Chain A
Amino acid sequence: MADNALQILRLSARLAVAAGIIAIMLAPCLGQEGPKPDPAGLATGDKTNVVDAGGNAFVVAEPTDKAAPDYAQKKKDFDEFQAQAAKEPLAVKLADATGHVRVATNFAWTLNTGYLVLFMQAGFALLTCGLVRKKNAGHLMMLNFAAYVFAFIAYYAVGYAFQFGAMAVNAAPGNLGGTPTLNHFLLGNGLWGFLGGKGFFMAGPAYDAGSNVLALFEVVFMETAGYIIVGSICERISFWSFLLCELFIGAILYPVFGCWVWGGGWMSQLGTTMGLGHGYVDFAGSTVVHAVGGFCAMALSVILGPRLGKYGPDGKPRAFPAHNLVYVVIGTFVLLFGWMGFNPGSTLGATDLRISVIAINTNLAAISGSATAMLFWYWKFGKPDVTMACNGMLAGLVAITAPCAFVGPTSAFIIGVLAGLVVCLGVLFNDNVTKIDDPCGAISVHGFCGVLGSICLGLFADGTYGAGWNGVGAASYLGQTGRGVSGLFYGDTKQFLVQVMGAAICAGWAFGATFIVFKVVNGVKSMRVSNEVELEGLDVPEFGMQGYPEDAISVTAS
């Protein structure tokens, strides 16, 4: 009796603590004054969203800082605007409609590019499944499928809030109406934010038309990071531990770094706080998405160890050839197609006409990466390898993802060539030197080339785009009006420094956090399937059915 009572007491105490934590998290969403969410989208997009091509607003805002030297001029402009607006109410009404249409255009663009990114999950599934042995095909497909489901649940519950809960503080997406209700850091504040704190369960302040566009677009990015790990840990990881990995990525690993760079967090503000260029810049996620996934995959692969038989008794690697090159190539093309959403969509708006440059840059890096990998293999081993040609294309895509908006076509092509070399050397390096077993080359493609992409931004950014990025240099930068994000080759050493530093932080965070958490998990219960299961193939032991059931002679009574 006494034992039971004690247990009930303990349980109640734990529940109370959990309820308290949830209450603290939800507190900022409840009963607070401030901007209201707009679930119907009726109030999202008005005259304040009307800007010219240079981003100058139609509405002249009232100056608040009376001590500012240009206060008198600004006050005069404001008064003139007010007088004109009073004389022409129809113009103001039209501006409201124009602002709404502008935001609607950007909604359509961002949602549709998000759907393209969603389709990349099909590409990953085909690619990784084709690259493994036939006996594990069903298991691979289930991993790819469950990744979408479980990582989404984690991101829905807490991930989105952690990443974008303070979006409006430093990084309000004007193209989508600004998401003014996402305005609170759970950890840190102002320019030193570490974790967003609004929008848990995508409810309350996140139950808003603008916020939901952002949520749709960003959840599929998170899913991309979630899928990357499959390529490294497949053919030996048990299903239950894979689900833990996905929950971890969707709830913590991805959102935390994402908040630092994209959610208005501390790394994005390093330009303002420490004078480091435009702060850490990653346009579409070479590091935020790909290197996070790649280095998480590396840590998991180290913990799991290589597949049985991957290394002979002499330590030499053995080949486990891909079982379906058709899947590999189609999967790669599906990924290329999806990347046309991934990179151009990251403007969060079609009214940003840089989208065409981004689309061409993305393709250029893809083809030069693939050409480099094909020719490198041709030269080194006598035959171009289909799977490496595909890895080369993905390497180029990963590397151009951070700099795609900030570089010209020549630089994009060169970045692809560099990525093609890095992925070839990376695969050989992992196979022969580090002996980290990476069946699909995910560590080289996404980890190494993700870091390369971020550094390339710091080298090749040409200053033609991104004036005022992260709140730096809106009026002029490096003495030039309209100068945007610039790299080392265009005179901004500090941007290069912050890119190198940021990429290192990314790799350290993704590898370190994953390694610590899953070293513990693996210590409690091995994350690997048993040797017998691995030798038989994971399909039947884990899911009771084969990827290709006609391969087995079935004897069933009809």
Chain B
Amino acid sequence: MKKIEAIIQPHKLDEVKEALIGIGVEGITISEVRGHGRQKGHTEMYRGTEYTVDFLPKVKLEIFVPDARAEQVVESLTAAARSGKIGDGKIFISTIEEAVRIRNGDRGEGAL
């Protein structure tokens, strides 16, 4: 099993969601997060005083899939989330040891 964590631009969420559902992904968890990569922040003015906006709003998706599906999900996600500009985000993939469905105790890929 793989965990695919993707940090994307908030305005790309709808497109990404449709793309993933389109290829049959069943579960998606998202959270609103703030941060920056190489894009860094920018400065603004408030009542004549400058301040920096270091951490920009982003959306983080977490998707858990069987090993065989991981590559397809990453490709589809990358295509949907890309605008070609700096700040599009990143995807991290890691291996998952075990999964448990709380309702009935199913384990492994059957619980996904």
Contacts and interface: CB of A to CB of B under 8 A. Distances in A.
Interface of A: 317-322, 377, 380-383, 385, 387-388, 427-428, 431-432, 441
A388 B49 contact: no
Interface of B: 45-51
A432 to B, nearest CB: 8
Contact of A385 (B46, B50, B51): B46
Contact of B51 (A318, A382, A441): A318
28 contacts: A317-B49, A318-B49, A318-B51, A319-B45, A319-B47, A319-B50, A319-B51, A320-B46, A321-B46, A321-B51, A377-B48, A380-B48, A381-B45, A381-B48, A383-B45, A385-B46, A385-B47, A385-B48, A387-B46, A387-B47, A388-B48, A427-B47, A428-B48, A431-B47, A431-B48, A431-B49, A432-B48, A441-B47
B16 to A, nearest CB: 27
B45 A388 contact: no
Contacts of B47: 319, 385, 387-388, 427, 431, 441
Contact of B45 (A318, A322, A385, A432): A385
Given A381-B48, A382-B45, 8 more contacts: A317-B49, A319-B46, A319-B49, A319-B50, A381-B45, A383-B45, A385-B45, A387-B46
Give 5 nearest A-B pairs by CB, closest first.
A319-B46, A319-B51, A319-B49, A321-B46, A317-B49
Contacts of A441: 47
B57 to A, nearest CB: 15
Q: Which of B45, B49, B50, B51 has the most CB of A within 10 A?
A: B49
Overall SS of chain B's interface: strand
A380 B51 CA distance: 16
Nearest to A131: B47
B5 to A, nearest CB: 22
Q: Which of A317, A319, A388 has the most CB of B within 10 A?
A: A319
A385 B45 CA distance: 8
B73 to A, nearest CB: 30
A448 to B, nearest CB: 15
Contacts of A383: 45
B55 to A, nearest CB: 14
Contacts of B51: 318-319, 321
A319 B51 CA distance: 6
A385 B48 CA distance: 9
A427 B47 CA distance: 8
Contacts of B50: 319
A428 B47 CA distance: 8
Contacts of A318: 49, 51
Nearest to A391: B47
B56 to A, nearest CB: 15
Q: Which of B45, B47, B50 has the most CB of A within 10 A?
A: B47
A427 B46 contact: no
Nearest to B50: A319
Nearest to B45: A381
Contacts of A382: 45
Contacts of B45: 319, 381-383, 385
B103 to A, nearest CB: 21
Contacts of A321: 46, 51
B42 to A, nearest CB: 13
Contacts of A387: 46-47
Nearest to B49: A319
A313 to B, nearest CB: 16
A390 to B, nearest CB: 11
A388 B46 CA distance: 9
Contacts of B48: 377, 380-381, 385, 388, 427-428, 431-432
A431 B49 CA distance: 9
Contacts of A380: 48
B107 to A, nearest CB: 28
